[in-house]
């Protein structure tokens, strides 16, 4: 499985071949825990590279769409089997390029495995409907049809899971793919594509073009021969994608930001809630769209909860994710680290109470990486910027609330609507929260992270544009409906005109 052309130099994958970028430009991918370690040299692709990849995908579409869906699915199943065998290898490479701890990268690869198996199963379903006609001797049904070339633009924080969420349903439905992975973590997408090729995917069906967002990603979104764009990333970039796709009436799915909340009610199991807050707030160094960056705690248990949360946050060990004793890795790059540090200063200026953390870690081994302390602000107001804006780092804002009603108001009072969580032993409160939280995902007695591949994933408001990833919802996005009427009456029947008596 050697993508490396010379040492650690990687190329684009177009029409079944590894090819150098058109302009010959490349960038170095560094380990965020130790920037002296170069993971590889990856292409900086141009519009010409995107053109070539789209042309290959467009040509391959004509034959791939004719492959029976169960046969397409068999290739995905073989790919899932290969991913299982290589899970540890791919997990370690992901920790080196992305930084999150090995337990989390194993989960990332496992999610790709789960999605690939799941979509392989859909190859023998892809159900439509049959329904009685309102006229005699007439048959009515609906079928799904593929759309064409799908442009997939994926982020760096889940570098194998998220490409699999998009790629596997697109492929099983009969579409072809051009994948533009996150610039900071391309290696995991290379592993995924190599695995599909080894499983028997024909040339041109999947193409991988590495590069930055404005260049490679922008060219892909604008391309007139790409009718489908699926994007995961920031809300600001998602808005640009939407504006780019709208004039051509492209299908586009946007999975964007979140400012997710955990509500801790007065009857909650506080130890369990603290466990969830630590995992939700500091897992992946807070670099998840589902991260629990806000916590609303009932005033009657606020002091006890905050004391426990701070104590647990201070015990977290920060370091290289390959070290099994480490709880939290670095952030992805210097720019993201600066963003986190800027928001810490914003929190201080807003007079939030800094309870723990708040500093860059830069002594000893930390000097080689992009590390930040787990940080907790207390006594926050719901309207503070640190409680409204997505930070994408290990910073959590805790707010006192009077009860569920105020908690719901606070939860819904942000521009995003991805995920929310409520800790309570009161079944009435739990169901009221399920009803009233305006988010795409709700958890009861669990943190705001932990989605499974067989349920829809996505959010409301500025988190998305109404589409969902995973499960059958992904099949809906990557197919078009076709309604079919077969009249075997051997005479003209005029539907409602002949059926109005």
Question: Out of 104, 183, 194, 255, which one is annotated catalytic?
Answer: 255
The span from the CA of 83 to the CA of 188, in Å, is 12
Q: Is 67 helix (H, G, I), strand (E, B) or coil?
A: coil
Give the chain's length: 501
Q: What are phi and psi of 115, to 5 degrees?
A: -65, -40
Q: Is 278 helix (H, G, I), strand (E, B) or coil?
A: helix
Instruction: Measure the CA angle with vertex 440, ends 434 and 444; round to 5°.
Output: 40
Enter the tokens of residue 469.
């990833």
CA distances from 207 to 59, 151, 163, 188, 382 (A): 12, 10, 12, 14, 45
Q: Is 205 helix (H, G, I), strand (E, B) or coil?
A: coil
**Residue 255 appears among annotated catalytic residues:** yes
- H helix intervals, 145-234: 161-172, 187-198, 218-222
**Residue 289 appears among annotated catalytic residues:** yes
The distance in angstroms from the start CA to the end CA of the chain is 68
Question: Out of 289, 373, 380, 469, which one is annotated catalytic?
Answer: 289
**Parallel, antiparallel, or unpaired for β 360-361 and 371-372?**
antiparallel
**Parallel, antiparallel, or unpaired for β 149-153 and 176-180?**
parallel
Enter the tokens of residue 347.
């929190």
Q: Which residues contact 174 (CB under 8 A, 6 or more apart)?
A: 64, 65, 67, 69, 72, 145, 146
Q: Which residues contact 210 (CB under 8 A, 6 or more apart)?
A: 10, 12, 21, 42, 43, 44, 45, 180, 181, 183, 186, 216
Sign of the torsion formed by the C-alpha atoms of 47, 53, 55 and 57: negative
The span from the CA of 200 to the CA of 178, in Å, is 17
Positions marked catalytic = 255, 289
């Amino acid at each position: 499985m050697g993508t490396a052309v010379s040492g650690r130099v990687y190329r684009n994958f177009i029409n079944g071949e590894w090819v150098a970028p058109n302009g010959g430009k490349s960038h170095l991918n560094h380990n965020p825990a130790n920037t002296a370690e170069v993971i590889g040299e990856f292409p900086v692709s141009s519009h010409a590279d995107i053109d070539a990849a789209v042309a290959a995908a467009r040509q391959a579409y004509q034959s791939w769409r004719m492959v029976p869906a169960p046969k397409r699915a068999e290739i995905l199943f073989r790919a899932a089997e290969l991913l299982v065998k290589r899970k540890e290898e791919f997990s370690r490479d992901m920790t080196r390029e992305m930084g999150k701890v090995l337990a989390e990268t194993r989960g990332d690869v496992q999610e790709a495995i789960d999605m690939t198996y799941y979509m392989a199963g859909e190859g023998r379903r892809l159900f439509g409907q049959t329904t009685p006609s309102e006229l005699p001797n007439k048959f009515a049904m609906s079928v799904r049809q593929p759309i064409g070339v799908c442009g997939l633009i994926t982020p760096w924080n889940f570098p194998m899971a998220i490409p699999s969420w998009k790629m596997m349903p697109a492929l099983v439905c009969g579409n072809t793919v051009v994948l533009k992975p996150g610039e900071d973590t391309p290696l995991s997408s290379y592993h995924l594509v190599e695995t599909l090729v080894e499983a028997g995917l024909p040339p041109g069906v999947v193409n991988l073009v590495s590069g930055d967002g404005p260049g490679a990603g922008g060219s892909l979104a604008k391309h007139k021969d790409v009718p489908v764009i699926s994007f995961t990333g920031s809300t600001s970039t998602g808005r640009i994608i939407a504006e780019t796709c709208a004039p051509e009436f492209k299908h586009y799915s946007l999975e964007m930001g979140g400012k997710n909340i955990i509500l801790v009610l007065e009857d909650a199991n506080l130890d369990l809630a603290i466990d969830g807050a630590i995992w939700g707030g500091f897992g992946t160094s807070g670099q998840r769209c589902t991260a629990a960056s806000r916590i609303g705690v009932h005033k009657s248990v606020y002091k006890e909860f905050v004391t426990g949360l701070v104590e647990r946050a201070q015990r977290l060990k920060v370091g290289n994710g390959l070290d099994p004793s480490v709880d939290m890795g670095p952030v992805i790059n210097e720019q993201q680290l600066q963003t986190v540090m800027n928001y810490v200063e914003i929190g201080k200026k807003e007079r939030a109470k800094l309870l723990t953390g708040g500093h860059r870690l830069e002594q000893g081994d930390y000097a080689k990486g992009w590390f930040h302390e787990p940080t907790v602000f207390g006594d926050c107001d719901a309207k503070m910027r640190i409680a409204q804006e997505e930070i994408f780092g290990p910073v959590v804002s805790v707010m006192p609330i009077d009860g569920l009603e105020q908690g719901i108001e606070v939860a819904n009072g942000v521009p995003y609507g991805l995920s929310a969580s409520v800790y309570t032993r009161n079944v009435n409160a739990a169901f009221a929260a399920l009803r009233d939280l305006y988010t795409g995902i709700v958890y009861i007695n669990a943190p705001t992270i932990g989605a499974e591949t067989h349920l829809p994933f996505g959010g409301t408001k500025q988190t998305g544009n109404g589409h969902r990833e995973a499960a059958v919802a992904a099949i809906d996005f990557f197919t078009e409906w076709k309604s079919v009427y077969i009249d075997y009456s051997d005479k003209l029947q005029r539907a409602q005109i002949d059926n109005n008596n």
